[in-house]
Amino acid sequence: MELCDQYIHEMIQLVPELNDFHQLPEYKHLRSKCTNTLTKEFQKKERELYKKYYKLVKNKNQKSFYDHVFLDDLKIMLKESKYNSLDHVPIDSLENFPLYFLSQLNGETDYEFTDKKAYDDFLERFKKIPEICDSIIYNMRKGMRVKDTIPRIIVLDLLDQYKNTLDLDLEELDFPAHSIKNIRESIETYIFPTIKKIKKFLEDEYLCKCTDKIGLCNLSGGSTIYKGLLEEQTMKGYTAQDLHNLGLREVDRLMKRINELKRKMKFKGNLKEFYKHTIDPYANKKDVIDSAKKLQKEIYKNIYPKYFTKELLEKDLADISNVANNKSRMYAFYIGTKKRGTFYVNANIYKDLNKHEMLTLSLHESVPGHHLQLMTHNRSKKLPLYVQSSHNTGYIEGWGLYCENFTELHSDKEMVWKYVYELQRAIRLVVDTGIHAFDWSYDKTFAYMSKYSHSSEKLLKNEIIRYICIPSQALSYKVGELTILFLRDRYLKKFPDDIKGFHQLIFDIGPCSLDLLVKEFIKKNI
């Protein structure tokens, strides 16, 4: 057994919820457990585990490729565990405890809700919510004393989410009849009181201590943390300034492409008018879901055979579902487990969606994007458990963005929206570094994004909130895509007309840092 897989077994015993993904039968009896990861006791055990495996892997004479993957991750985890400032901000608009328990109940999770016992086991986890709530408030009070606080805009967004949740009519919840009574009771007993407690704390104590500063650079040790995150999400050697400049160049390149299409289509108005001109709206929620299902089948039939070997997953399309939460800020996202893959489309906002963007979204989220990639890896008998569950975003999101380049089915209007989405990823390089390294304000960030964006003020605000809450993650898309394109060009120089072989090799290597991905190609003399 690989050392990284031994680590997975030990981590599941420490955090049983990790087995929601792996579904190892020997830990099935722990399915009802819920872990408070904010206690000093837990963090001590976690750090000891990191140190133990770092030493074991470091001292191995003959290291496998996956040892190097694991070692890189351990270095990052050990670095991040040093900074108390991260504990001081344990919630935000995306890590919005306890609301993620509700999203999990709605299926947006690795957890498999198969029968009444599965629901009962999951609801047992709710009993841990009050304890976790107390730890959150305790840590946030510690942060207040040293001025490590969540930005005011995030607190206000959280308060809005909490209010909307408290307004829910539990009688309208759609769950299996065998568990609906228990679900409602659990929400009333654990979720609602916890929301009220955190909400009162935020309103009475916390909000007045918050800052309008939004960047990680304003937390103690934040600049050092961000530097480490850049390495984790992109590649070693990239500075914030490098990534910022790359973003500016990519924005310029993509705007030229959009303007070329604008001239080709003989449109005389400004950019925002041009975007509006290329929109074909959906009629209703059903229209959105039906469109996504149809496009997935067309992509699979017309694009898949040209680029992918039979060794990769065949005839296994993603489930396509509307997101359960009407307030969700996401257009679309994908969740893949060992048994299923679901492409979630937010059909609730169908009036803000455009038929010409669905093709790009489908290429990214379903086949040949995240669905093909993750289901292939999740079910692999060759990859270690550790690598199967890897969330290396440079590799994963780089692949998703790379897949948007399969443009055979694109009309001119769909090409516009292909570039609009790519432009959004380039803008992220500019604003993520702007916020977290160069102390950009919310207003400066909003002004830069609105210059190029088609989105409403509300949706732009949601995007900025995402970048505030997950520093550096948004950088991984564009850097990952550019890395894969670079490797593709190298591969095709040596093996012309073997694009299937290139994609197979990317999948065979599996999720890893972009640095290791490049090294592996070089090792193979490519």
Cis peptide before 193 (omega within 30 of 0): no
Secondary structure element (H or E) that encloses residue 333, with its range: strand 332-336
> Is a pLDDT exceeding 60 seen at residue 327?
no
**What pLDDT digit, counting tens, does each position of 183-238 carry?**
999 999 999 999 999 999 999 999 999 999 999 999 988 999 999 999 989 999 99
Q: Which pLDDT band, with edges at 50, 70 and 90, does 314 fall under?
A: low
> pLDDT tens across 57-96, in order?
999 999 999 999 999 999 989 988 887 777 899 999 988 9
| Maximum Cα interatomic distance, the chain, rounded to a whole number of Å | 66
Domain ranges of the chain: 229-478
Q: Is 90 exceeded by the pLDDT of residue 273?
A: yes
> Is the per-residue pLDDT at 415 higher than 60?
yes
| Listed range (337-341, 443-447, 498-502) with the worst mean pLDDT | 337-341
Helix (H) or strand (E) holding 336: strand 332-336
- Is residue 387 within 8 Å of residue 312, measured between CB atoms? no
Assess whether pLDDT exceeds 60 at residue 326. no
Which of the four pLDDT bands, split at 50, 70 and 90, describes residue 292? very high
pLDDT band, residue 313 (cuts 50/70/90) = low
Least confident among 225-239, 253-267, 339-353: 339-353
Q: Is the pLDDT of residue 41 over 80?
A: yes
**Average pLDDT for residues 420-427, to the nearest whole number?**
96
Residues 6+ apart with CB under 8 A from 249: none
Mean pLDDT of 356-383: 92
Global pTM value:
0.93
The pLDDT of residue 373 is above 80: yes
- What pLDDT sits at residue 486? 97
In 10 A of CB 313, how many CB atoms? 22
pLDDT at residue 332, rounded to an integer: 86
**Average per-residue pLDDT for the chain:** 93
SS3 115: coil
Q: Which of 220, 83, 95 is nearest to 161 (CA)?
A: 95
Q: Are strands 341-345 and 332-336 parallel, antiparallel or unpaired?
A: antiparallel
Among 411, 319, 312, 422, CA closest to 359: 411
Quote the CA–CA distance of 318 and 333 in Å, as a whole number: 12
